Chains A and B, each alone.
Chain A
Amino acid sequence: MNKNKKFFLLALLAAFSLVLAACGFGGDKGTDTKPTTDGDNKESSGKKELNVVVASEPPSLHPQLATDTTSGAVLNEVFEGLTRLDKDTVPQKAMAEDWEVSEDGLTYTFTLRDAKWSNGDPVVAGDFAYSWEWALNPDNMSEYAALLYPIKGAEAYNNGKGSADDLGIEVKDDKTLVVTLENPTAYFLELTAFKTYAPLNQKVVEANEDWYANAGEQFVTNGPFKLADWKHNASITLEKNEDYWDADNVKLEKVNIGMVEGESTAVTMFKKGEIDFLGSPFQTVALDSIDAFRSEGKLNIADKAGVYWYKLNTKDKVMANENIRRALTLAMDRQGLIDNVLKGEQTPALGMVPTVIKGFEEDRGYFKDNDIEEAKKALEAGLKELGLAKASDLTIAISYNTSEAHASVAQYIQESWSKNLGINTTLDNSEWQVYLEKVNMGDYQVGRMGWIADYNDAYTFLEMYATAENGNNDTGWENPKYKELIEASNKEVDAEKRIQILKDAEAIAMKELPVAPIYYYTDPSVVSERVTGMEADILGNFQLKNVDVK
């Protein structure tokens, strides 16, 4: 028996050492990619490194397949489109050296600069044509292809009705790309900075269709940084791309992006100096640490082009009544919500387009925040139309996806409705994938949603309500006049007239209220003192090429 046991122990020991030898603890042999804990080390090595964390593994590092902000944050650094946005979201020359716009605003002629892919190939006009066609090809199932719809023939091709030959993308020569648009799209040069518009190296992509699954030689990019390493679910390392056309102005040599899911863990890491920045998309400042950072004077709050709103399902029996929708929208104490619950210095939303969007800086005066008197009047009229005797006969359900933050907003509004209007409110939460389907199917009365701009233009907030069929509308609301104005805004070349048209459209929606806007987003962030230039634009983009560390 003793022998047996000894043998067993020996076997166990052998198995154990085998396992340890095989997998180890994930440490790197000979490299120093791990974020060092003390700042002295970094300085003595003389390397300029930035340490940040993201909340999750990026679902896809393919520019045409990515849809989320984490992937977008990495892609923005490793790829570069024709343009790149500066801090004020003004498109700057990037892969394009110059461009000309025809007088009718329909034809863009881009001249490319001499730029190289990370494998040494030149970046040519054909690379853009290839990637845009790739995204629009319905077989490739790009979920963001709709962003390319301003291009002539794009929508038809993506819907399987047209062909790639009819697309308004023409490669004149290696350096010249001519793009014809469906309508004069005022924000087209902003779109060309977006990840879906990034080029792909045709040869590389065709040689290996899973090129984007791992870092390595096949991951060929053209941005300021190269994807040096990607340990799935653990970390991403970016290294400066020496061949980048503007490499002289890129100060960082390395960006270590860890993946840390726990918000409070990320806060601890920041306090300890293991990471240099905290704030979307590089994790977020946990709600319970916001006050502490603020009292130390470290908290920065940046406005963001996004709106948090309650969709009001106009196909629902009760919610179909405009007066009820009006009563609910007016009887919300948005400022109180921001001061007591959200604490992020957000702006009360009294319209659909955030005040940071060009031309929408001023309040358009559609309604007043917390206007209880008007709300009561509207409720009375609504109840009469519905044939209800008193307010307590009315029960409204607020739906939201399971999350503490959404729950506290809903509870605050529930309280406000019951105190001021005397109606009953039930709260109904479900997990994200289920919730999205519910809202999509119209199985709700009042449903929470947020919308963050892809480009700095009011169109992104208004376009979804043009038709009831639009997949992002979800409210069943439509109005022919509204649709007309949205379409007119596409054709208008004059910038000021166009903004007025969009404002008129917004006014219609804010009268009939398919949505109750609640607040415009802000992004709280904290940054280490040794970092400069770490500033987000209103779309939440960072340009790490402008960041420097001491």
Chain B
Amino acid sequence: MINYILKRLMYILLALFVIVTVTFFLMRLAPGSPFANERNFPPQIEEKLNETYGLNNPWYIQYKDYLIDTATFNFGESMKYKARSTNDMIAESFPVSLTLGIEAMLLAIGFGVLIGVISALYHNKFPDYLATSIAVLGISVPSFILAGLMQYFLAYKLDIFPTAGWNGFIYSILPALAIAFSHAGFIAKLTRSSMLEQNSSDYVKMARAKGLGKWTVVFRHTLRNALLPVVTYLGPLTAGVVTGSFIVEQIFAVPGLGKHFVQSITNRDYTVIMGTTVFYSIILLFAVFIVDILYSIIDPRIKLKGAKK
């Protein structure tokens, strides 16, 4: 187990190195300059700006600087937002995205598993059709359409929720729902299919034959096995939702991390691009890693390589 974890950590470092390198070169290959402004300023000022941010150095010096910055988690000041460090920007916006993401994830897992179980239990009956339709709708309706519709009806027409902003729990409900809906649909489909598989297995039939109730079987036996694919999906899902969604944040004016991914690139704000990319990669890599470890806890049949049993 320890060996396995160490090995995985090595891979994560390697992957990070590759990501940093690829990002650096893609970033520098992209045309456009962070200091291009509609109102031109004297060339000597631009020269000074380039010098301050080290953009005059040859590429290998810049590359080396970036590697050092990444290793020390110090990405430097943003080129667009004066006197603001990339670290501060991430530190301010990540908690917001994290809160929203966790809320969305709880909703997605809760509703997703519930809908999946219902449709599996009532296979090919009305509840199944209804649940499946909801799930398919969730997967196929893009989050921004849902967000716009919810904002219009629930916030504007019915005035149940505030339109946009981030000033308390009530402000987080609509954006969380908008993010959760499609994930819930996906989880429901996953749960349903693996539940159906389990339902025809011997141990479930045995349990039913013993006289256990439908729902007791689900919670005691079936669900635990049926959730494996859902757990697999949880890794990337976590990384995706806790780092924020650009479009949902834009519609609901949530001050989260998602906008920095997109805006830093359109601004050619190199330091912020690097900071957000590395940050996201770390979260994604670790989320996948943790899911792999969770496997062995949920399903004892899975043995991690390097385990000494």
Distance in angstroms between the alpha carbons of A159 and B44 in the assembled complex: 7
Partner of B98, one of A19, A139, A272, A450: A19
Q: Is B297 an interface residue (CB 8 A)?
A: yes
Is A37 touching B162 in the complex (CB atoms < 8 A)? yes
Q: Is B136 an interface residue (CB 8 A)?
A: no
Min CB distance B11 to A, Å, is: 24
Min CB distance A447 to B, Å, is: 12
Distance in angstroms between the alpha carbons of A436 and B31 in the assembled complex: 11
Is B45 touching A261 in the complex (CB atoms < 8 A)? no
Min CB distance A40 to B, Å, is: 14
Distance in angstroms between the alpha carbons of A288 and B151 in the assembled complex: 17
Partner of B155, one of A65, A262, A264, A268: A268
Indicate whether A471 sits within 8 Å of B83 (C-beta atoms), given known contacts A25-B171, A272-B156. no
Indicate whether A213 sits within 8 Å of B83 (C-beta atoms), given known contacts A233-B93, A269-B163, A271-B156. yes
Residues 8-39 of B at the A interface (beta carbon under 8 Å): 30-34, 36-39
Residues 417-459 of A at the B interface (beta carbon under 8 Å): 430-434, 436-438, 440, 449-450
Q: Is A472 an interface residue (CB 8 A)?
A: yes
Q: Is B58 an interface residue (CB 8 A)?
A: no
Which residues of chain A are near B172, meaning CB under 8 Å?
A: 25
Task: Categorize the interface residue count of chain A.
Answer: 35 or more
Which one, B126-134, B251-259, B274-282, is touching chain A? B251-259
Indicate whether A5 sits within 8 Å of B297 (C-beta atoms), given known contacts A232-B92, A440-B40. yes
Task: Categorize the interface residue count of chain B.
Answer: 35 or more
Partner of A144, one of B39, B82, B164, B298: B39
Indicate whether A57 sits within 8 Å of B165 (C-beta atoms), given known contacts A265-B252, A437-B33, A471-B42. no
Which residues of chain A are near B167, meaning CB under 8 Å?
A: 25-28, 34
Distance in angstroms between the alpha carbons of A546 and B165 in the assembled complex: 27
Min CB distance A16 to B, Å, is: 6
Distance in angstroms between the alpha carbons of A232 and B92 in the assembled complex: 8
**Interface residues, chain A, with chain B CB atoms under 8 Å away:** 1, 4-5, 8, 16, 19-20, 22-28, 34-35, 37, 53, 57, 59-60, 62, 65, 67, 138-139, 141-146, 158-160, 210, 212-213, 231-235, 258-262, 264-265, 268-269, 271-272, 274, 430-434, 436-438, 440, 449-450, 470-472
Considering the complex of A and B, which 10 residue pairs feature the smallest CB-CB distances, nearest first? A471-B40, A23-B95, A27-B168, A433-B32, A436-B36, A434-B32, A60-B82, A34-B167, A234-B255, A233-B255
**Interface residues, chain B, with chain A CB atoms under 8 Å away:** 30-34, 36-45, 48-49, 52, 80-84, 89, 92-93, 95-96, 98-99, 102, 148, 151-152, 155-156, 159, 162-169, 171-172, 250-253, 255, 259, 266-268, 297-298, 300
